Every structure is written in structure tokens, then in C-alpha cells.
């Protein structure tokens, strides 16, 4: 017969066993977390440490689960692995509808729609190159980190503007993301660190000279718009922007043969998704509702799988040296993987008379677009 005293002893023994087992079970994860913090040079307050550990544990589980599935990309415990989904969305994304998501406004501010030259290709007059990588021509600035501000739209547009200017002028310049954050505001459909749309910045760039990043540095917070700076692209050089036909892989490929193109993609806010990307050709559980602005700087094929080559704004230590490759195709709804075909656009830039007065750096050697690009080196990071 089980007496009340026996039940008490059994309950006490179970509680003691649970108490002793829990720390042992978690000790390995805690050890990995502490090593992860040392690797990335992170330190947290005592009241934040537990929450960061919980986020890290979820990332660790997601990576372990991902490893059991057949995917063409790998994940790892990068610098974002201990960030909550809410913080990740607020601090590392930032594309909002604005002029970029409203078809009427997109057409009103556009110089036209770029369509694939299908007829010319059928006649043999024009053939798309098998691969292209604008970095090889020296007209793509290094990837940067938007760090703590939903300003992806300024990084994508400033990168595309610098590339467009580099192509027409044969000179490169680092353009200020902070100027766009401060000056291309609500009237252009943008909201500072609260998010914005890259086509709004192109409209702003029509009316103002663009500052160099060195003279107007990024501070990851919205400030008062400044008028004093060193000019990187003179007023009048940016004529506007051109939308790329949506739902058309051929149109985007054709546009990318002209210059890097800004696009919107959907990044999972919860779960590993692109957040923990290490390398390979990414395909994931994403919809076609864009929430992040990036720049397509090329495309190609690796082991029979087609991809877009994309510059991100999460720093050079993320992904493949700050870049990632996204599976190329029409996607389930015709919008491409993660909605990449839903809102592409690029700035239209011309050389003007006073271009010689701006701060510049000469671009690299000429690019041969028919050559297969080498895959970017996979980033280093804390490995499981």
C-alpha cells in the first residue's frame, strides 16, 4: 500500500532528479553559448543573458533540424543567432510598401518598365550571358552592415546608385546611406529606421546631389538632414528609376546585364531562414511579400542549379562574404523565390558636364559577362 509519506518521498526524489538533470542537460548548450559570445566579442547584462541564451538555443535546434533535410544551402551560428525574431525584424530588415509597393506610385515615378528583349533573342540578335558578376568589373562597393536600424532600403539603393554611376563614369564612390535615411523621408514614402522603399530614394536622388559616405557617415539612427557634404554623384546625374517587369525572370536577368538591380525579398522573421545562412544556394520557407531590400549583382548556375547573386546589408562576415545566392526560377506564384520578381527596379544615371568635380575612385578592369563567376568565399563563423 502506498502511503502519503511514500508519495511525498517519491515526489521529493523526482523533483531532486529533475533539478539535478536540468543543469546537466543544459550545460552543453551553455558552454557553446559562452564560447559563441567569446568568438563574436559579445557581452550582455545579467537580465538579458537568459533571453539571449534562449534565442541561441532555438537557433541551435533549427540548425540541427536543417542538417537532417536535403537543402542546397547550409546554416550556422552567426552573429545573428542570439537575436529574437522581433529584434531581427526591427533591426535587420526594413523594406516597407511605400512607393515601392504601390503599383500606381511605382508607375508615376518611373521612367518606364524594363522588359525582356525576347523578340531580339529569338532572332539571334541578342543572347543573355550564361552568368554575370558585376563585382568582377569593380563597380560594386563592399557589403556593409545596417546594424540596429531598419535601413536596408538605404543600403540597397546607395549600392545600386554607386554601381550605376561607376558604370557610366568609370569611377566609383561610396555613397552615404545616412543622407538617404535623413533626407529621403516621408514625402518619398520612407520612415527612417522604421523602414522605407528604395524607389523613393531614387526619386530623392533626382532632386539632390548625393554625398559621399566619408563626409556624411552612417550612425544607424535618423538625424536632421544635412546640406554640407562632399559630393559623390552630382545633381542631375540621376534621372530617375526604371521598374523591371514583375513575374519575369527573363526581364530581371536582362536588366542585371545592364547594371545591379534593387529587389525586395521576403525574409522569415521567425525561424532560421536567411538569418542563419552560411553558404550555398538558398531556398526556404518564404512567401512573396517582401520585407527586405537587397541588390542583385549577378546570376549564374552552380552544379545545374540556377541562382541570383545578391548583396546583403548584414555585414561582410555574414553569408558568403556579405553576399548570398538565391534559387532562380518563377516560384510557386510566379513571383520567384521569396518574391524576388515582385518589385525590382534600378536607377537611371547619366554622365553630366560637372562630373569631374566629384570624389571618385577608378574602377577595375573590364568585365566579360560570359565567364562563369567563382562562388564567393563562405564566411567564417562559430561552427556547431
Mean pLDDT, the chain, whole residue set: 84
Spatial contact of 293 and 198, defined as CB atoms under 8 Å apart = yes
3-state secondary structure of 136: helix
Same domain, 76 and 135: no
What percentage of residues in the chain have a pLDDT greater than 90?
A: 67
Same domain, 116 and 35: no
pLDDT of residue 269: 86
Q: What number is the average pLDDT over the span 377-382?
A: 38
Q: Quick check: is 368 catalytic?
A: no
pLDDT of residue 364: 40
More confident residue, 189 or 371: 189
CA dihedral 243, 248, 254, 258 (to 10 degrees): 20
Distance between CA atoms of residues 6 and 305, nearest Å: 65
**pLDDT tens-digit map of 26-84:** 888 999 999 999 999 999 999 999 999 999 999 999 999 999 987 899 999 999 999 99
3-state secondary structure of 310: strand
* Residues forming beta bridges with residue 305, ordered by sequence position: 302
Same domain, 10 and 138: no
Same domain, 102 and 236: yes
pLDDT of residue 273: 87
Distance between CA atoms of residues 160 and 54, nearest Å: 37
Q: Quick check: is 73 catalytic?
A: no
Same domain, 258 and 118: yes
pLDDT of residue 336: 94
Same domain, 116 and 265: yes
Q: Which CATH number goes with the domain that contains 46?
A: 1.10.287.2250
Distance between CA atoms of residues 46 and 229, nearest Å: 42
pLDDT of residue 149: 96
In a domain, 380, yes or no: no
CA dihedral 192, 193, 198, 201 (to 10 degrees): 30
18: containing domain: 4-82
In a domain, 272, yes or no: yes
Would you say the C-alpha torsion 198, 200, 205, 211 has a positive or negative sign?
A: negative
Q: Is the pLDDT of residue 105 over 90?
A: no
Same domain, 23 and 56: yes
Q: What number is the average pLDDT over the span 222-229?
A: 93
**Residue 15 CA, distance from chain mean position:** 48
Same domain, 226 and 307: yes
Q: Please state at what angle helix 198-207 crosses helix 152-169, rounded to 10 degrees.
A: 50
Q: Quick check: is 114 catalytic?
A: no
Please, what's the b/e burial string for 307-327 (b: 16 or more CB within 10 A of its CB; e: otherwise)?
A: bbbbbbbbbeebbbbbbbbbb
Distance between CA atoms of residues 348 and 240, nearest Å: 5
Q: Which CATH number goes with the domain that contains 179?
A: 3.90.70.10
**pLDDT tens-digit map of 251-302:** 999 999 999 999 999 999 887 889 999 999 999 878 878 999 999 999 999 9
Given the residues 152, 193, 211, 286, the one annotated as active site:
152
pLDDT of residue 201: 93
3-state secondary structure of 165: helix
In a domain, 371, yes or no: no
Distance between CA atoms of residues 206 and 218, nearest Å: 21
More confident residue, 71 or 359: 71
Distance between CA atoms of residues 310 and 243, nearest Å: 18
Same domain, 63 and 187: no
DSSP strands (E only) in the chain: 73-75, 110-114, 132-133, 171-172, 210-211, 231-233, 238-244, 261-265, 277-282, 292-302, 305-311, 323-327, 345-349, 361-362
Same domain, 237 and 327: yes
Q: What number is the average pLDDT over the span 159-163?
A: 98
Total domain count for the chain?
A: 2
Q: Is the pLDDT of residue 98 over 60?
A: no
Same domain, 231 and 289: yes
Given the residues 78, 174, 292, 338, the one annotated as active site:
292
More confident residue, 170 or 103: 170
Distance between CA atoms of residues 374 and 300, nearest Å: 10
Given the residues 78, 190, 243, 312, the one annotated as active site:
312
Same domain, 123 and 35: no
Spatial contact of 295 and 262, defined as CB atoms under 8 Å apart = yes
Choose the weakest-confidence range: 21-30, 238-247, 363-372: 363-372
Instruction: Count CA atoms within 13 Å of residue 246 on its CB side.
Output: 14
What percentage of residues in the chain have a pLDDT greater than 70?
A: 79
Domain final residue, candidates 82, 101, 124: 82
Instruction: Count CA atoms within 13 Å of residue 377 on its CB side.
Output: 6
Amino acid at each position: 500500500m502506498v502511503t502519503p509519506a511514500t508519495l511525498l518521498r517519491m515526489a521529493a526524489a523526482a523533483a531532486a532528479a529533475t533539478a539535478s538533470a536540468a543543469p546537466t542537460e543544459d550545460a552543453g548548450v551553455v558552454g557553446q553559448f559562452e564560447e559563441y559570445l567569446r568568438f563574436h566579442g559579445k557581452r550582455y547584462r545579467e537580465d538579458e543573458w537568459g533571453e539571449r541564451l534562449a534565442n541561441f538555443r532555438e537557433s541551435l535546434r533549427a540548425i540541427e533540424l536543417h542538417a537532417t533535410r536535403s537543402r542546397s544551402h547550409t546554416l550556422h551560428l552567426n552573429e545573428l543567432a542570439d537575436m529574437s525574431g522581433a529584434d531581427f525584424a526591427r533591426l535587420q530588415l526594413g523594406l516597407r510598401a511605400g512607393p515601392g509597393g504601390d503599383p500606381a506610385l511605382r508607375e508615376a515615378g518611373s521612367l518606364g518598365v524594363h522588359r525582356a528583349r525576347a523578340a531580339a533573342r529569338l532572332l539571334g540578335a541578342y543572347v543573355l550571358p550564361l552568368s554575370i558578376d558585376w563585382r568582377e568589373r569593380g563597380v560594386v562597393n563592399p557589403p556593409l552592415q545596417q546594424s540596429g536600424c531598419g535601413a536596408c532600403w538605404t543600403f540597397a539603393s546607395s549600392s545600386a546608385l554607386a554601381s550605376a554611376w561607376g558604370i557610366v563614369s568609370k569611377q566609383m564612390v561610396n555613397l552615404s546611406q545616412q543622407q538617404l535615411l535623413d533626407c529621403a523621408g516621408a514625402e518619398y514614402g520612407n520612415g527612417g529606421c522604421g523602414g522605407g522603399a528604395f524607389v523613393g530614394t531614387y526619386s530623392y536622388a533626382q532632386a539632390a546631389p548625393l554625398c559621399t559616405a566619408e563626409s556624411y557617415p552612417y550612425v544607424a539612427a535618423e538625424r536632421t538632414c544635412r546640406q554640407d557634404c562632399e559630393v559623390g554623384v552630382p545633381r542631375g546625374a540621376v534621372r530617375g528609376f526604371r521598374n523591371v517587369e514583375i513575374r519575369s525572370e527573363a526581364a530581371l536577368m536582362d536588366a542585371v546585364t545592364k547594371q545591379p538591380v534593387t529587389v525586395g525579398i521576403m525574409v522569415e522573421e521567425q525561424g532560421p531562414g536567411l538569418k542563419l545562412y552560411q553558404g550555398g544556394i538558398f531556398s526556404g520557407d518564404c512567401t512573396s511579400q517582401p520585407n527586405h531590400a537587397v541588390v542583385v549583382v549577378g546570376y549564374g548556375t552552380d552544379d545545374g542549379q540556377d541562382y541570383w547573386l545578391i548583396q546583403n546589408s548584414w555585414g561582410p562576415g555574414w553569408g558568403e562574404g556579405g553576399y548570398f545566392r538565391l534559387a532562380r526560377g518563377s516560384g510557386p506564384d510566379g513571383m520567384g523565390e521569396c518574391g524576388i520578381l515582385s518589385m525590382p527596379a534600378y536607377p537611371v544615371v547619366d554622365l553630366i558636364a560637372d562630373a569631374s568635380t566629384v570624389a571618385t575612385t577608378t574602377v577595375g578592369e573590364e568585365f566579360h559577362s560570359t565567364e562563369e563567376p567563382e562562388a564567393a568565399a563562405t564566411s567564417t563563423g562559430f561552427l556547431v
